[in-house]
Chains A and B, each alone.
Chain A
């Protein structure tokens, strides 16, 4: 059964939750979704899968007119793409939205394509802009390792996209807003072929929300040398980032990696210490407010994209900076 333009109405935002905390990208999607819904003159809906006692009113406060709450005490506690997909597909077939948006989180990027395949819909990946043109969704996304922007339209319904985190403003929160919560028991809640055995608990570190990033590259020779970078980061209220080379050398955990196969960051200040500026690194930090580079090689490519650069030895420069900043503070 194929959905056509005539049957489909409304915008559906998938709200990702973990331990009943809703991912902030969902609020950003509701913010953008509200704008699109106004242009299309259609309702804005949201779907969340979680335990029956989860408080989902927040999605109403953030702009949803209807919240579909698919409930099961256990099934959605872990990221099981097959169970999520089976339930979402059933709901989407019932609700028939014209637009379906997912956050381009790791989970969203894994789940949305499964859902699209089951619906036979198209899916645009990792959008950074969305607009309406003649009633159709225009989806704009970077490709070719961030070198180009493609404008994409769907030719089947629903028009589906995953949207990058931190591209749009969060919908404002209005606790007086009214909407409808439709709770329903999960269509499917067991028999998944994938067993989720455990979550490996790691240091709770998220570089994406840092206002200042001090990043270490292969120019930092030893693990203990990171201490001075950490100190600099702390003086600036920031966090430690790293190039892939630094992660591979075992200096620092992968969560800190910035770049194409690591994290994308957009801090106000990015300080690259001993990082050459490979395209895969730049892809993850080029949207930073101010880029500062410290590098001993005057021909390092990072200098071409820096606002400010010091050509010199980081082992001399960073301790001096720390001293100066400390003197200023005291």
Chain B
């Protein structure tokens, strides 16, 4: 059983600053963390491995600094990690990202199960999982918040699509995207943290993947969308009336607001 978990390092959204005037995101303003949904993806893999054994490999495409995120995944239960990092991977959109990840999975010899987060908190497209499955030519099941059963050959999950919850069963290989509701990620133990620090994370650049992908399929060149401009909309200013002491007065005030908004006639 080989399980691959896709993880992305993202800026800490509580701290990142947005420059309205220049229309840019100042990534240096914040630390980084593992995309929160990817911790749920990893936890799902770890809980399956506890029952079935096998190996968990975490995979991330990003700058050299993403090594930290991968070490953290080892502390949290991954057996191995691979970092996909190369200047030529830079500027990738989802298409180029998914193709590069698919190439790396092929180089690993494929996977039975692939877990990804439902979306990231930065790029936030939610497309990398399904597109990776598309490029690998394997099925995917998205928006999964419950794993009902699994075995050496197949997995049954609950997928929330089309305003419903559907129980879906797939044989391997399959890619699954998970929500925050699927589990509660455990914290790494002190012991694992220490050994993760010493872990060696192999870095694969284009050279390592060239049997599986062409150079014009990666990075900016391999992308099919371009971000032309970023706009940081100013925060909407709200009326900002606050009542503090007198509850009666506050309620009278609110009722006036509700009357004006015409929601009292129902």
- Residues of A whose CB lies within 8 Å of any CB of B are 16, 18, 78-79, 81-82, 85, 105-107, 109-118, 120-126, 138, 142-145, 147-156, 192-200, 202, 206, 211-212, 236-238, 254, 260-261, 268-269, 279, 286, 289-292, 298, 303-312, 316-317, 320-321, 324-325, 328-329
Contacts and interface: CB of A to CB of B under 8 A. Distances in A.
A28 B15 CA distance: 36
Nearest to B18: A147
B34 interface: no
B162 A310 contact: no
B93 A122 contact: yes
25 contacts: A107-B161, A112-B127, A117-B130, A118-B134, A120-B95, A120-B224, A121-B224, A122-B225, A123-B125, A147-B232, A149-B232, A152-B225, A153-B225, A155-B226, A194-B141, A194-B168, A197-B167, A198-B166, A292-B254, A305-B238, A307-B240, A308-B239, A312-B247, A317-B250, A328-B264
B121 A144 contact: yes
A246 to B, nearest CB: 14
A320 B232 CA distance: 41
Given A105-B162, A122-B224, A148 B170 contact: no
Interface residues of B, number: 86
Contacts of B118: 261
Contacts, number: 272
Contacts of B100: none
A200 B166 contact: yes
Q: By CB atoms of chain B within 10 A, which of A85, A117, A192, A237 has the most?
A: A117
B118 to A, nearest CB: 8
B115 to A, nearest CB: 15
Nearest 5 interchain pairs by C-beta: A117-B134, A122-B224, A237-B266, A125-B125, A122-B225
A261 B179 contact: yes
A196 B264 CA distance: 45
Interface of B: 13-14, 16, 18, 23, 25, 93-95, 98, 118, 121-127, 129-135, 138-143, 145, 156, 158-171, 174, 177, 179-181, 223-233, 235-236, 238-244, 247-248, 250-255, 257-258, 261, 263-264, 266
A291 B127 contact: no
Contacts of B145: 254
A193 B169 CA distance: 9
A110 B247 contact: no
Contact of B166 (A199, A212, A308): A199
Contact of B162 (A106, A144, A298): A106
Contacts of A320: 247-248, 251
B161 A148 contact: no
Contact of B254 (A114, A121, A310): A310
Nearest to A278: B14
B123 to A, nearest CB: 6
